[in-house]
């Protein structure tokens, strides 16, 4: 029987948590201590301290105990899934409470408590059981948790780490400079800059810290991890934090390792509040979503991600607006109508580099009324590249290709004037047009003409420009991203101003012109609207 089924049948009894010092003070000892039946049942002093003679159960007895047990089993299940080196049989622990009574129920309760204490030790980055005071302090957290989403379970996990003292510190120092004779032998004199020194971290502390966050298997709490395994764990950590996954602990990785768990927990809670706005997507057959802080686009079809692509988004001065709309058509080899906010920038570039505008394909286009406007013809220098995915809106923001392909290799991809540049535009175009009979050969043939062409989508596709700084990867691991526009800070401040009103669970980051999907579409501009790059 699976875990969820095992949780269905629950017997109701009672619960109390008792501090170790209370248990110790119950009966002063005189002479050698006699081994009792309770000692044989609870040989570990922490386990004994959590129970009393007339209160035998921690995980069943009333609604609060059931909530604790459900949350504990969910946490153990998550850990076992992400770290197979943990050997707890979570389904068996859950089955132990089915129709159990008397001694069998007591043993089932003790078994879960032992597994729970082991879990707490690992979240402290240790093999030693946590003190009873800490174990008792964590238990109430299990009663106040929303378990409807996996991200809610992650929030509970972080809250437990915080209650246990936070992330373990990872001491680091710069490796020493070579002695002067070694510098001279290398040809490095007083006028030559010495070699860059690497950051040297405490390997044992690093392993403990990575076990805490489930980046390194818990079995390496007791032994030194092979270099390749530790490097892989560091890369996993770096990927989860939006860092370059090079497997080396540098300054940015060290800073991420040291970020207070309370700050991470606050970020997850802000993003939990935003999840309400995404619930309606479950009913959509297909849609495109861009997570701006993650620099990532996803095409979802029938609930599964069928395409992922890196993206470049607006910088902090010209942020990508957060709104929802519908992709209606795709332009091949588009013309770029340069918005007035960028014209002056291009003119300044022309002054520094005469002839730039002509070489890059820019021309001034006369209009019947009003000032001439600057446009860029299709070509290898065109800022929109060869694809433009159009959802007409008053932000003048779209998804598009780019001629600057090398920028996708940068760690920080908040570089545009507000539009979203897509690394894999051809794959996205094919995925959106496949139902209309388009394949790679047909697309190549259309692109070979080098002429601007508009392809209407038979079924417009919803597109969501999101702002999520905390989400789960396909394995269920937490990914954290920088609050590049400060929307998390604004959301947290607004939540505090609402005097802790937890009912406002549909927080979306405030941005200029925030629009929504369904009937909540952005206003339609004219066909010749300018487009940010």
Q: What is the mean pLDDT of residues 175-191?
A: 60
- The helix/strand/coil state of 210 is helix
The whole-number average pLDDT for the span 439-467 is 96
The confidence score (pLDDT) of residue 208 equals: 97
> Among 152-166, 244-258, 282-296, 333-347, where is mean pLDDT lowest?
333-347
The answer on pLDDT for 333 being more than 90 is yes
Higher-confidence residue of 405 and 441: namely 441
Quick check: 45 pLDDT over 80? no
Does residue 465 have a pLDDT over 70? yes
Distance CA 24, CA 18 (A): 10
- What mean pLDDT, rounded, does the chain reach? 83
Q: pLDDT band at 102, cuts 50/70/90?
A: confident
Residue 156: is its pLDDT beyond 90? Answer: yes
* Strand 420-422 with 399-400, pairing: parallel
CA atoms of 135 and 117, how far apart (whole Å): 7
Mean pLDDT, to the nearest integer, of 139-147?
86
Mean pLDDT of 405-419: 80
- DSSP letters along 358-407, please? HHTTEEEE--SSS--EEEE-SSTT-TTTTEEEE---TT---EE--S-GGG
User: Is the predicted pLDDT of residue 470 greater than 50, yes or no?
Assistant: yes
Residue 347, pLDDT above cutoff 80: yes
Q: Record the tokens describing residue 49, joined without a space.
A: 């301290």
Local structure of residue 165 (DSSP, 8 states)? T
Report in angstroms the alpha-carbon separations of 407 from 163, 176, 295, 429, 471.
41, 35, 12, 21, 24
Is a pLDDT exceeding 80 seen at residue 85? yes
Q: What is the pLDDT of residue 184?
A: 57
Among 6-15, 261-270, 357-366, which is the least confidently predicted range? 6-15
First-to-last alpha carbon distance for the chain, in angstroms, is 55
Higher-pLDDT residue of 387 and 417 is 387
Residues 15 and 55 sit within 8 Å (Cβ to Cβ): yes
Three-state secondary structure string covering 454-467: EEEEEEEEEEEEEC
At residue 199 the predicted structure's pLDDT band, cuts being 50, 70 and 90, is: confident
- d(CA 401, CA 388) in angstroms, rounded, equals 6
For the cut 60, the answer to whether the pLDDT of residue 114 exceeds it is yes
Instruction: Give the pLDDT confidence score for residue 19 in this predicted structure.
Output: 34
For 481-531, the pLDDT digits (tens) are 999 999 998 888 777 666 555 444 444 443 333 333 333 344 444 444 556
Nearest-5° angle of CA 37, CA 40, CA 43? 135
Return the pLDDT at 516. 34
| Higher-pLDDT residue of 177, 61 | 61
When pLDDT is cut at 50, 70 and 90, the band that residue 434 belongs to is very high
Where is pLDDT greater, at 151 or 18? Answer: 151
CA–CA separation, 207 vs 146, rounded Å? 30
Helical residues (DSSP H) of 260-328, grouped into ranges: 261-274
Among 130, 66, 117, residue whose Cα is nearest residue 94: 66
Q: Which of 131-135, 305-309, 517-521 reaches the highest mean pLDDT? A: 305-309
- Please tell me the predicted confidence (pLDDT) of residue 424: 97
Predicted pLDDT at 177: 64
Q: Is the pLDDT of residue 69 over 80?
A: yes
102-123 and 203-212 helices, crossing angle to 10° = 130
**Complete domains list, the chain, with CATH:** 3-163 (no CATH), 172-177+196-259 (1.10.101), 263-335+378-497 (2.40.440.10)
Q: What pLDDT score was predicted for residue 33?
A: 47
Quick one: three-class SS letters along 274-298?
HHHHHHHHHHCCEEEEEECCCCEEE
Mean predicted confidence (pLDDT) in 154-159? 96
54-59: average pLDDT = 80
Q: Which of 89, 84, 319 is nearest to 218 (CA)?
A: 84
Percentage, residues of the chain above pLDDT 90: 56
Residue with tokens 């070509």: 379
- For residue 467, give the nearest of 414, 519, 402, 388 by alpha carbon: 414
Candidate from 42-51, 470-479, 510-519 with smallest mean pLDDT: 510-519
């Amino acid at each position: 029987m699976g875990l969820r089924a095992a949780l269905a049948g629950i017997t109701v009894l009672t619960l109390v948590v008792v501090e170790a010092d209370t248990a110790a003070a119950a009966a002063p000892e005189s002479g050698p201590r006699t081994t009792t039946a309770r000692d044989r049942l609870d040989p570990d002093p922490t386990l004994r301290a959590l129970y009393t003679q007339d209160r035998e159960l921690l995980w069943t007895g009333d609604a609060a105990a059931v909530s604790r047990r459900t949350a504990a089993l969910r946490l153990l299940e998550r850990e076992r899934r992400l770290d197979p080196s943990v050997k707890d049989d979570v389904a068996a622990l859950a089955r132990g409470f089915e129709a159990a009574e008397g001694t069998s129920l007591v043993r089932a309760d003790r078994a879960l408590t032992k597994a729970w204490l082991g879990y707490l030790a690992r979240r402290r980055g240790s093999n030693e059981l946590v003190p009873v005071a800490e174990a008792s302090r964590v238990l109430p957290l299990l009663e106040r948790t929303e378990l409807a989403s996996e991200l809610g379970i992650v929030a509970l996990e972080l809250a437990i780490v915080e209650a246990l003292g936070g992330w373990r510190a990872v001491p680091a120092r710069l490796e020493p400079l070579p002695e002067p004779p070694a510098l001279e032998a290398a040809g490095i004199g007083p006028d030559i800059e010495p070699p860059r020194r690497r950051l040297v971290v405490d390997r044992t502390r690093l392993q403990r810290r990575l076990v805490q966050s489930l980046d390194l298997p818990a079995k390496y709490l007791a032994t030194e991890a092979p270099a390749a395994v530790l490097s892989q764990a560091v890369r996993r950590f770096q990927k989860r934090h939006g860092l370059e996954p090079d497997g080396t602990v540098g300054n940015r990785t060290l800073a991420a390792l040291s970020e207070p768990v309370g700050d991470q927990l606050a970020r997850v809670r802000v993003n939990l509040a935003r999840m309400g706005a995404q619930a309606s997507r479950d009913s959509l057959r297909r849609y495109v979503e861009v997570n701006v802080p993650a620099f990532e686009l996803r095409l979802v079809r029938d609930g599964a991600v069928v395409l992922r692509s890196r993206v470049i988004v607006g910088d902090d001065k010209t942020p990508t607006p957060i709104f929802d709309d519908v992709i209606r058509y795709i332009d091949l080899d588009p013309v770029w109508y340069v918005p007035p906010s960028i014209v002056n920038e291009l003119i300044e570039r022309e002054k520094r580099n005469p002839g730039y505008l002509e070489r890059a394909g820019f021309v001034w286009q006369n209009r019947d009324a009003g000032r001439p406007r600057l446009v860029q013809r299709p070509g290898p220098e065109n800022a929109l590249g060869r694809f433009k995915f159009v959802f007409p809106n008053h932000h003048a923001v779209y998804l598009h290709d780019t001629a600057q392909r090398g920028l996708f290799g940068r760690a920080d991809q908040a570089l545009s004037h507000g539009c979203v540049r897509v690394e894999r535009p051809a794959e996205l175009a094919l995925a959106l047009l496949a139902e209309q009979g388009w394949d790679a050969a047909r697309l190549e043939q259309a692109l070979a003409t080098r002429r601007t062409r508009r392809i209407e989508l038979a079924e417009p596709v919803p597109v969501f420009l999101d702002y999520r700084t905390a989400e789960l990867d396909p394995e269920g691991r937490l990914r954290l991203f920088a609050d590049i526009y400060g929307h998390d800070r604004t959301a947290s401040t607004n939540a505090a101003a609402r005097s802790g009103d937890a009912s406002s669970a549909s927080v979306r980051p405030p941005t200029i012109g925030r629009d929504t999907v369904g009937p909540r579409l952005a206003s339609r501009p004219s066909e010749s609207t300018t487009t940010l790059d």
